[in-house]
Amino acid sequence: MPRLSVRRLLFALGALWLVMLPLSGLAAQAVRGTVLRAVDQAPILGAVVLLLDESEAVRARGLSDVQGRFTLRAPAAGRYRLRTLRIGFTPWTSGLLSIRGDTTVRLALDQVPVRLPTVTASEQADCQSNPEEGLASAILWEEARTAILAADITIRELSYRFEMMLHSRKIDTRPPPLLLESVFGRVRSEGEQPWTSFAPETLEARGYVTPTDSGLRYVAPDLTVLLSPYFTRTHCFTMRAPTAAQPSRIALDFAPLTTVRRSEIKGTLWFEAESRRLAKVEFTYVNVPQTVKDMMAGGDIEFAQLSNGAWILPRWLIRAPIPVRSALADTVLRAGTAVNTWRSDYFEVPQTSRMRVTGGDLLAVRSASSSDVLWSRPTSALDIDVVTLEDGKLVPAPGVAATFAGSDEQVVSDERGRVHFAGLVGGEYAVEVTTPYYAVFDVEPERLRVQFTQTPRTAKELVRVKTLQELAREACGEKPGHAVLVGSVARGAGVVVGGSVVARIRRGAVSNLDDARTSRARTTIEGRYAICDIPTGVEVFLTVAAPDGARVSVSTFIEPGETVAFYDLIYPDARP
């Protein structure tokens, strides 16, 4: 019996996974059915059912539910085939069916699980060198495509509502690695992928990593790319059997053909050894500049199956170096569109140590019709006790702001000095704790780092914030006969942001202000200011100039012996 080329087999299997044509809702014919096992009439859960026209183009698709039921919409009356794909079973295709109106079918499948052939040494070699080997790899890749297609159907068919935590971290990878910022936000979505890539034909023409005016742009593959004929056609697939280190996993490695010179991706698809369910796709970039090859740019996409047969993406991560501004490409106009052209200095990109890690964690999946929770992720929590020094003792500090570094969302400590963050997913978090006076004196916030795994827990941390006196002493020092003047500037119902505050004393008065006997400060986003080295026991004249030019002048007096004095300025005109 002649052997079938694994390349031809993979491409033949991929021919049915073309981009779906838009359906016309007005003329659509409903095709309802049930997928059953012929041997015992038991329903088959999670089977992908495709509706193919006479040219083998996919015109509709769906998943069988827990009772084996499915519904497809044919774009018009005609002759169609039904094709089923189910992980662990061979694909099955019906004969031509004449559909003239709403149609009900029963698919009694007499299938047996497909056993993977033994992986030979020659099969693990490069697919270019052994084009006739790789049946096991081809079968396993088809299993992966079935899971990916099922996940794409689940996301797009509007039968589910997804709640997820999106996050973005900036990391300095120089040893020891430092988390610079961590930004998070909850989102709800239905009918859309959590991230999108370029079209497969664009990636095939230009690659995954392209130069821009600000550095290099990294593109991650989405489900459409992984399902495209281009991906199957241009990559080698090699199966690895379970090992002693990972006895419960089967690996399917993929890499671009050796003839491909554009930037591409390679990686591994991980399967559960017993059920052959797809668990994760890992990828990295190849054919990229040498200076960023050690940055671990790439990504992970996790897969899981719900009890009703639908597939979801519980977690995904994309890692890419933060661009370094460099003239990496010329931009030309072709047919009115800006196109970056390659240059010889593409492989001489300035090295960067900073990486952006973007991703998402699915928190819950609900049914769109009933809002029932079909899947949920246990999450962690972080409790921070904020304290300060008072009369030599640590006491709770209420009203202190805590934020994830790089984020605008704040949680303020309660009367017990407690800050509570709930709903945290696995990963590293950088938290900044600060009072308004930290910004006034340009002092870095108190900072802590917390690491969570996928196993939920409640972490407890203690943070001490500096008192106003400590901040003033740190920023201005201690000088006898002088004080730090702090306060706020109000105007109407708001505060003056970015206003100039000038302090002056009369000539002849003893002071260490500058030669003009003046000192200046600028108000923060909260309208606060601080001026160092104000002499005590003398009259001090203050002038505030708002960004729009409006001014107000007052005078104050600081009692001898004071080290920190307060003066809040209010514009007499309350109108904005």
Query: Given pLDDT bands bounded at 50, 70 and 90, which one contains residue 211?
Result: confident
> Is a pLDDT exceeding 70 seen at residue 20?
no
Query: Given pLDDT bands bounded at 50, 70 and 90, which one contains residue 214?
Result: low
> Is a pLDDT exceeding 60 seen at residue 188?
yes
pLDDT at 431: 95
> Is a pLDDT exceeding 60 seen at residue 126?
no
**530, 521 contact by CB (below 8 A):** yes
**410, 402 contact by CB (below 8 A):** yes
Of all helices (H) and strands (E), which one includes residue 105? Answer: strand 103-109
- The Cα–Cα gap between 103 and 111 comes to 24
Query: Given pLDDT bands bounded at 50, 70 and 90, which one contains residue 139?
Result: confident
- The Cα–Cα gap between 170 and 319 comes to 10
Strands 458-464 and 380-390: parallel
> Is a pLDDT exceeding 70 seen at residue 13?
no
Question: Which 3-state string (H, E, C) describes 402-416?
Answer: EEECCCCCEEECCCC
pLDDT at 495: 94
Over range 18-24, report the average pLDDT.
Answer: 35
- C-alpha neighbours within 13 Å on the C-beta side of residue 253: 13
Assigned CATH topology for domain 380-468: Immunoglobulin-like (2.60.40)
Which of 218, 195, 194, 183 has the alpha carbon at shortest distance from 320?
A: 218
Architecture of domain 6-114: Sandwich (2.60)
Residue range 274-314, pLDDT digits in tens: 888 899 999 999 988 665 555 678 999 999 988 888 899 99
% the chain with pLDDT above 90: 48
pLDDT at 343: 41
Q: Give the number of other Cβ atoms within 10 Å of residue 250's Cβ.
A: 23
pLDDT at 336: 41
Over range 406-411, report the average pLDDT.
Answer: 85
More confident site: 434 or 216: 434
Query: Given pLDDT bands bounded at 50, 70 and 90, which one contains residue 28?
Result: low
- The Cα–Cα gap between 496 and 411 comes to 24
Instruction: Tell me how far CA of residue 548 lies from CA of 36, 174, 368, 498, 499, in angstroms.
Output: 75, 45, 52, 10, 9
| For the chain, domain boundaries | 6-114, 154-189+196-366, 380-468, 478-570
- The Cα–Cα gap between 575 and 543 comes to 19
pLDDT at 113: 57
List residues bridging with 146 in a β-sheet. none
> Is a pLDDT exceeding 60 seen at residue 543?
yes
Residue range 98-117, pLDDT digits in tens: 988 888 999 887 666 556 65
Least confident of 112-121, 129-138, 545-554: 112-121
Over range 383-399, report the average pLDDT.
Answer: 96
- The Cα–Cα gap between 561 and 359 comes to 55
> Is a pLDDT exceeding 70 seen at residue 455?
yes
Query: Given pLDDT bands bounded at 50, 70 and 90, which one contains residue 25?
Result: very low
Q: Give the number of other Cβ atoms within 10 Å of residue 275's Cβ.
A: 13
Chain-wide mean pLDDT for the chain?
A: 82
Residue range 416-450, pLDDT digits in tens: 999 999 999 999 999 999 999 999 999 999 999 99
Amino acid occupying residue 350: P
Interaxial angle between packed helices 135-156 and 6-14, expressed in degrees from 0 to 180 and rounded to the nearest 10: 20
492: left (phi over 0), alpha (psi -120 to 50) or beta: left
> Is a pLDDT exceeding 90 seen at residue 409?
no
> Is a pLDDT exceeding 70 seen at residue 323?
no
- Residue 414 φ/ψ, nearest 5 degrees: -80, -170
pLDDT at 510: 57
Over range 392-407, report the average pLDDT.
Answer: 93
Class of domain 478-570: mainly beta
Least confident of 114-128, 252-266, 456-470: 114-128
More confident site: 28 or 462: 462
> Is a pLDDT exceeding 50 seen at residue 333?
no
Amino acid occupying residue 519: S
Residue range 228-252, pLDDT digits in tens: 999 999 999 998 878 888 888 999 9
- The Cα–Cα gap between 521 and 282 comes to 52
More confident site: 24 or 253: 253
**94, 107 contact by CB (below 8 A):** yes
Query: Given pLDDT bands bounded at 50, 70 and 90, which one contains residue 127?
Result: low
pLDDT at 508: 62
pLDDT at 342: 38
> Is a pLDDT exceeding 50 seen at residue 90?
yes
| Residue 283 burial by Cβ neighbours in a 10 Å radius (0-12, 13-18, 19+) | buried
| CATH topology agreement for domains 380-468 and 478-570 | yes
More confident site: 214 or 268: 268
- Residue 304 φ/ψ, nearest 5 degrees: -155, 155
DSSP per-residue string spanning 162-198: EEEEEEEEEEE-SSSPEEEEEEEEEEEESSS-SS---
- The Cα–Cα gap between 426 and 418 comes to 22
Q: Check whether the bond before 456 is cis (ω within 30° of 0).
A: no
DSSP per-residue string spanning 414-479: -TT-EEEEEEE-SEEEEEEEE-HHHHHTTPPPEEEEEEE-SS--EEEEEEEPPPHHHHHHHHH---
> Is a pLDDT exceeding 70 seen at residue 509?
no
% the chain with pLDDT above 70: 81
Amino acid occupying residue 497: V
Q: What is the largest CA-CA distance in the chain?
A: 109
Query: Given pLDDT bands bounded at 50, 70 and 90, which one contains residue 133?
Result: very low
pLDDT at 559: 92
> Is a pLDDT exceeding 70 seen at residue 92?
yes
| DSSP 8-state class, residue 543 | E
**178, 428 contact by CB (below 8 A):** no
Question: How far apart are the two ends of the chain, measured CA to CA in Å?
Answer: 88
**404, 168 contact by CB (below 8 A):** no
pLDDT at 347: 45
How much of the chain is helix, strand and coil, in % rounded to 5? Answer: 10, 45, 45
pLDDT at 21: 34
Amino acid occupying residue 353: S
Tokens 């996928």 belong to residue: 454
Say how many residues make up the chain.
Answer: 576
Query: Given pLDDT bands bounded at 50, 70 and 90, which one contains residue 24?
Result: very low
Over range 169-177, report the average pLDDT.
Answer: 86
